[in-house]
Amino acid sequence: MRKDDWDCGDEACNLPDDILASAQALIDPEIRQWLEAVDPPDHVNLTVEQARAPDLHVEERNVPYGPDGASMRIVLVRPVAVGRLPIFYYVHGGGYMYGTPETALRASCEFARHCGCVVALPTYRLAPQTRFPGAVEDLERALGWVLDSHAELNIDPTRLAVGGVSAGGGHAAALVLRLRDRGPSIGFQLLSMPMLDDRTGASRDPGAIFGQNIWRREQNRTAWEALLGCRPGGEMVDPDSVPARVASVKGLPPTFVGVGQLDLFARENVEFAMRLMVAGIPTELCVMSGAVHGFDSFVPDAVVSIAYARTQQRALSAAFERMK
């Protein structure tokens, strides 16, 4: 994925120079260097073959999908370890319209290594060809297959975490909300810079300094309209289709929410975490100073990216320990 694919212009670029300068001045130096580079290195996805390593078993499976013989692909990453392992069901991002499991495969390998878990990376149908709730139904079906196959996969279905990144974080949050009353029991959710609120950049101003790089207001509106099939931010939107709009967050599992300080999603992520805290749900909120959306994918070797990865891994490991 090239930087130009993400860093497109819209009305946000017409903000006063002093506001734009203030936002740019806050960016972490290593991230700024990448953003300002004439020909920056692109985020390169791992293939399944490239992800295989002496300490990791990586494979693809096809999950039966419907009566017509169709199937969905799922990628499984397992550390070389003895015994039944916990399962992390991790949803890739891509603005609801793009992406594959390979988008999140590099991070998944590190979760498997450092957290001692099996990571399952499902595919799902993309917008606008499939509107809400199609993708979430896909994710529920694939999760059911993973849990039903626990003996074959040698996983412990009672130690289940669900998570995702960006749009995948939004889908993960929607899936957890969908399952909270009917199961299966989910012990933890990990939401990395999740895309939770269609009103951001539409009917709500996120704040002038947010979303000046990588993922901007116009892109956000386009993506939500593709998913919902209607103009985002308005009264026509079904509250149950947007995690930030649900009437109640009671009954959700312990949660980690992480986001960059300058991410377009910073305000909606902090507000969602606050709702969880007010509801008495154990919640960890991590805001990375000077970070923009997707920083850990585009500049994975930056100090701030490494710190963020370790924070997520620690949170997930601790959650699995609590599930024992």
Edge-to-edge strands, sheet with 188-192: 56-65, 70-79, 118-122, 85-91, 155-165, 188-192, 255-260, 283-288
User: At residue 154, what is the residue type?
Assistant: N
Q: How far is CA 48 from CA 63, 104, 113, 143, in A?
A: 17, 11, 16, 20
Task: For 129-153, write each residue's pLDDT tens digit.
Answer: 999 999 999 999 999 999 999 999 9
Q: Are strands 56-65 and 70-79 parallel, antiparallel or unpaired?
A: antiparallel
Q: How far is CA 139 from CA 146, 168, 192, in A?
A: 11, 10, 17
Number of independent structural domains in the chain: 1
Distance CA 182, CA 143 (A): 14
Domain range for 232 is 3-322
Q: Identify the pLDDT of residue 19.
A: 67
Write down the pTM of the prediction: 0.93
Q: Identify the pLDDT of residue 82.
A: 79
CB atoms within 10 A of CB 115: 24
Q: Identify the pLDDT of residue 41.
A: 60
E strands in the chain:
56-65, 70-79, 85-91, 118-122, 155-165, 188-192, 255-260, 283-288
Phi, psi of 50 (to 5 degrees): -65, -30
Low-confidence ranges of the chain (pLDDT < 50): 1-13
Cα 287-291-293 angle, rounded to 5 deg = 95
Q: Identify the pLDDT of residue 12.
A: 44
Q: Identify the pLDDT of residue 4.
A: 42
Q: Identify the pLDDT of residue 1.
A: 39
Asked if residues 78 and 150 have their Cβ atoms less than 8 Å apart, the reply is no
Q: Which of 150, 185, 188, 184 is nearest to 317 (CA)?
A: 188
Instruction: For residue 92, give the CATH number of its domain.
Output: 3.40.50.1820
Stretch (H or E) spanning 311: helix 303-322
CB atoms within 10 A of CB 276: 21
HSE toward the beta carbon, residue 53, CA cutoff 13 A: 14
Q: Identify the pLDDT of residue 40.
A: 61
